Amino acid sequence: MTDLHCHILPAIDDGAMDEKEAIALLKEEAKQGVTQIVFTPHFNDSISVDDFITLRQNSLKRLNEAIENKKNEEFSFRTKLGAEVHYSENLKNIDLAQLCFTGTCYLLLELPFEKEPSDLEEMIEYIVSLGIIPILAHVERYSYLIDNPRKLKKLIKLGALSQANLGAIWRNDDLTLKIVKLINMKLIHVVATDAHSKVKRPVNFLWGLHVLSQHIKPQKIKKLQENADKIFNNIDIRI
């Protein structure tokens, strides 16, 4: 399985505070059957892309060194670097290609929670024009999309994809049903953990998929997993 959205890199954002917590999260990913991970720390335009990449590389180095020092810990993940890019009108002045998942044309894009940006459709068109495929992170958090499938469908027709958090599914409530509806409409394409810590936002792959299995057919769950694998390997899954 592939986790395309997580905050496991230590001490770079509001995710893992240190190497110890990062390793604990990696253990949980492995325990739940995840074999491919994209590390996606938060990025916003208050920092330059070059500075962000330096911070990200230093964080990865710290994690790798910590793993090497724990001789009894063995991880066999395939990993890539990425970012959860916060939406901004300034995105047109940023080299977004450097923030895509390593070796791919996929970019994880976080939209504003409360209000739809007035230029959202234009921005999606712009990003796609660069040869980049934006993945809308945790789409269930945007009321203007989760409650408006037509709007989401339009963004997908423009070339975007969407991702839902497994943490929003496992509660098995009204939000879960909204997510299920959008999966059935082919408006949600992948699921991921968005893991931050063992307490605040844990790795919940297996339980999230278990709850999902109570609402949709096994082949649709398999499709979500296959989509994540294809994105990791830079295969175009757009409908």
Q: What is the pLDDT of residues 70-109, one digit of tens each?
A: 655 667 899 999 999 999 999 999 999 999 999 999 999 9
Q: Are 48 and 76 in contact (CB under 8 A)?
A: no
Q: What is the pLDDT of residues 147-192, one digit of tens each?
A: 999 999 999 999 999 999 999 997 778 999 999 999 999 999 999 9
Judging by beta carbons within 10 Å of its beta carbon (0-12, 13-18, 19+), is residue 46 exposed, middle or buried? exposed
The model carries a pTM of: 0.96
Q: What is the pLDDT of residues 190-230, one digit of tens each?
A: 999 999 998 888 999 999 999 999 999 999 999 999 999 99
CB under 8 Å to 24, separation ≥6 — which residues?
Answer: 198
CB under 8 Å to 83, separation ≥6 — which residues?
Answer: 40, 41, 42, 43, 52, 56, 99, 107, 108
pLDDT band at 238 (very low <50, low <70, confident <90, very high): confident
Structure tokens at 1: 């399985």
Domains and CATH numbers, the chain: 2-232 (3.20.20.140)
